[in-house]
Structure 1
Amino acid sequence: MKPAADVLSDLAQMSNVAVHSDSGLVGSVAAAAAEDDEKRKEKENEALRRKPDLQPISAKEGGSLHLAPWNVLHTLGRAIALARRGAGRGLAEHWGSLKYSQALIGGSTDYMRLSAEGRETAEHYKALQSGELGIGFALALAEQVLSQRHPGHLVSIVPADTALRAGWALNSRDKGPRSGYRYRPRFFAEVWKPGAESLVFPIECRGHHGNAAASDDQLATASAHVEAVHIGGWNGTPSLVFSTELPLDGPLTVHALQSKGEGGRLSRHASSPEGALDDRLEDKNIYPGIQPPPDGDETQPPVPGFHVKPEHYGWFRRVLARTTAAGLTAFAGDGAATLQYLTKRQGQRHFAGFAHAAAGSVQDAQGEFLGIPCVGTDHVFRLNRTRVEAFSGVAEDLFRHLEAGRVEQYRNEVYARRATWPRETWDHEWWGPVSVHPDGSVLAMRVLP
């Protein structure tokens, strides 16, 4: 059993992550999609509507990924802070990322892979581990690709189900006209800067413990999920699909493809005042369905999915910004600050009132990490019999804006500081791994003194 101090040191070690995206992958995924369509035809099921013309991501943008395991856990924790899947009722979901504290190993000259514990866990919880770690690696790569492609912009990751629920009823528990369509992306990436239009990419990410052929199948299915959301014109919304291969023996690999398009743009209009992001949201009831272009003079019936039309652009931009703010305040453990950003259908009630024992979260911790004063929440648990403390939160000055509902001011200030955040992965004052994201969020862990 490795000492906890050694585990924390391993978490801060930078490592390489293999990325696969080429024309061969495009062909393999197309073949997997065709085979799936043939099986559906034999069962008299309708073929899936998938993103046409998937393409590789350029080697310049996504040819390699260099990060520490702790950065991956931070990315995963931020992504699932609004997941609402466990007994924490959505207030402490992000601590679930810490169960992978011993799952990954690597080094400055090595490719990251599963550790002995990660391999053992995979024998019992394959789908859970591969799916959640797949989120962490895919979103880290997505942020790198989009940041390089759009310099001078920030990239915010937004859980798609939470965002879509502000406008559409996704299942029988939601009030409103239901879509009845189970295919939808897992996340949106909003590429933005103050005063400019946002560009939105639907993202689907999966993972497995098999071989590369399993990624072909996952990417073929993922292309149907990202096709379910159109922003603007028909089939013009760019998207990203990922499948992370986590073999029991050998380095892990992120398989990635993209679709390009001129859509996905949430343009700003004079009718949208500068402070609109600070205005509270109410649930809309947008009728589900995507309108295809006419066939000659004939209007085509809508196809299943979710269509963000030009009249929705300002509203959807506000949904994405406020859902991002909710994820940050939830990551900092502040339920009261979180519920102001969500509608009833988005899960407002999950951030008020009772939380189960050992599953709640309270914003009452503070500290300085790599020179940044932060506020947030803490969690104490045992790591190989040693008591350790984890902290998650946000830079204090930025959190105060979010706490007060000042989304526009938060975005202006975090944008101004985008190039100033420290890149170190170890804080010698805190004496443990620390990860700082461009959104001002911080995740840290140490052995309790």
Structure 2
Amino acid sequence: MDFGAVMRALSISGNLTLVSSRELVDKVNRAALRFERKEQKQIFRFRKWPVPVTVPDVLPTAPVHVLREVGVATTFFDDPVFADAARLWAQLRYCATLAPHRGRMTLSATAASSVVHHHKVAQSEYLGIGLALFVARHVLSEQYPGLDFQAVDADVALRSGIPGVGAVRQASGVRVRPDYFLIGHPRNGGAVKIVVLECKGNHGNESLAVDQLAKACVQVRSVEIAGRGCLPSLMVASCLRQSGITVHVLDPPGEDELWSGSADELERELNEELGEVPEPFTSERPGSEQQDDAVDELALFDRTLPVDVEESDTSFPAEARVLKIPQASQKWFSHALARFGAASALLFAGAGRTAAAYRPPPPRGGFTGLDEQSSASGDDAATAFDLGGGLHVMGTRSVLPLPDGGRFVVHRGLESGLYEQLAGQRLGSYLRSAPGVEERWRNGILDEEFARDAVSVGSDGTVLAVSLDRGR
């Protein structure tokens, strides 16, 4: 493998093709009906009916940005021995899978030709997460100017247990959770928003994406705030091909909010301890109101497409369950999710001990097989490094020897000022300051030395920097 070519490709932008249309919605609805009737999967009666999203025809990105999104979003790995290696996995295993070609972002020739089926499934899942998060952030930035969204793994937040609540589980055998919660924090005060996100990926064509989106319609309906119905959502399915990557997007967010306040009020509230949940969460069967909504949506679909619909067959199946977040616990829930987001950023930087104050992770440490520098006192981030442009980072430095005598170097971290805020339990201050880090770095980076590295800085202050050290 030509690691020099890999390095060059990591930082070069290519266009993702975005698709969202009424035609796509109709195809997804047809697929859901097929699953329900021909394959006798009654859970598809319990689905959200999607609508198109306003998206540009193309959206540019570089592979390093997708890898950073994957790395931060998948930090909650429970194995106590290989946790550190798992946090680095995305940057090593998938560093050569995306490549810009003739202006488009594509699946690299190596990834397209040399990966067997079961590895393609894992590859499409991980890259599907990174691409979905990148596209979702763009869509939400257009929908909600002035809000910055954190991604929080839904299973981690619910199945693994929320402080003060414990595990929040649905009925046995029902596995229809969405992948992520996206929590939008206003920069200058206002409403805190929540959007659920389902990420899909495949190595095929649009027909596979359509089937995946039909299944996503069930997953995004499984969480609601009591009294408001299902939450706003985004469903994103990426087709990974050597000819170009196409991302299908449906379901724009609604106007639901968790709570609101001035910038000072939000910061002050989030800087405080989480406290006890005001009212417990529940897992319930859908009520009559949701049944009526399903009949109305089905009737509308029947008028627009030639599909034989039996209206008497619209009741939700017994296994359909909704996780209900009581209105009294909305503000508390947003605070809990913000803490999970902070823990994810800290774990990405290797700061497990500091992250434990936000979401106690399982014990970490042990042999990783890589030369990864960390503090002598444990697994907290200890390596300080500069990226130019006035950006100082606390995190980890991992070195992988290469066959030609060079070294593949990966820095993962968090901007040092933000790290200090989180270490000092100033979560509100962190959320208020984090979005300015990326802008400050972009405005200040002038040194050509750093242009040789592939660097991604997120709105949460996380930093991924990949370089190739040829040695002397």
Equivalent positions of 1:269-418 (< 5 A) are: 275-281=268-274, 286-289=281-284, 292=287, 304-342=321-359, 348-350=360-362, 352-358=363-369, 362=379, 363-371=381-389, 372-383=391-402, 385=404, 386-415=406-435
> Larger C-alpha radius of gyration, 1 or 2?
2
Secondary structure of the equivalent of 2:333? helix
User: 1:429 aligns to what?
Assistant: 449
Offset of 1:428 from its aligned partner? 3.3
Identity among equivalent positions (%) equals 28
Secondary structure of the equivalent of 1:35? helix
User: 1:209 aligns to what?
Assistant: 203
Give the alignment's TM-score, normalised by structure 1. 0.85
CA distance in 1 between counterparts of 2:44 and 2:30 reads 14
Offset of 1:146 from its aligned partner? 0.4
Give the alignment's TM-score, normalised by structure 2. 0.81
Measured against aligned partners, the alpha-carbon deviations of 1:364-391 in whole angstroms (never above 9, x if no partner) come to 2111113201111111114564311100
Contact map agreement 2:221 2:230 (CA 8 A) in 1:
no
* Matched AA of 1:135: I
**Correspondence for 1:246 among 219, 225, 240:** 240
Measured against aligned partners, the alpha-carbon deviations of 1:114-160 in whole angstroms (never above 9, x if no partner) come to 11221134325110001111111111000011012211111211111
Measured against aligned partners, the alpha-carbon deviations of 1:269-325 in whole angstroms (never above 9, x if no partner) come to 79x9853323445786633226535589xxx99951211221111111111110010
CA distance in 1 between counterparts of 2:194 and 2:430 reads 20
- 1:144 matched to 2:102: no
CA distance in 2 between counterparts of 1:383 and 1:255 reads 37
Offset of 1:259 from its aligned partner? 4.7
CA distance in 2 between counterparts of 1:34 and 1:289 reads 24
Contact map agreement 2:82 2:365 (CA 8 A) in 1:
no
Relative to structure 1, is the Cα distance of residues 316 and 306 closer, same or farther in structure 2, using a 3 angstrom cutoff? same
Relative to structure 1, is the Cα distance of residues 64 and 423 closer, same or farther in structure 2, using a 3 angstrom cutoff? farther
Measured against aligned partners, the alpha-carbon deviations of 1:307-352 in whole angstroms (never above 9, x if no partner) come to 122111111111111001001110110111011111xxxxx242x3
Contact map agreement 2:213 2:235 (CA 8 A) in 1:
yes
CA distance in 2 between counterparts of 1:183 and 1:69 reads 30
When you count helix as a share of all residues, which structure comes out higher? 2
CA distance in 2 between counterparts of 1:177 and 1:289 reads 11
Contact map agreement 1:188 1:200 (CA 8 A) in 2:
yes
Contact map agreement 1:281 1:341 (CA 8 A) in 2:
no
Offset of 1:66 from its aligned partner? 0.3
User: 2:214 aligns to what?
Assistant: 220
CA distance in 1 between counterparts of 2:266 and 2:169 reads 30
User: 2:302 aligns to what?
Assistant: none
* Matched AA of 1:309: P
Contact map agreement 1:427 1:433 (CA 8 A) in 2:
no
CA distance in 1 between counterparts of 2:60 and 2:218 reads 29
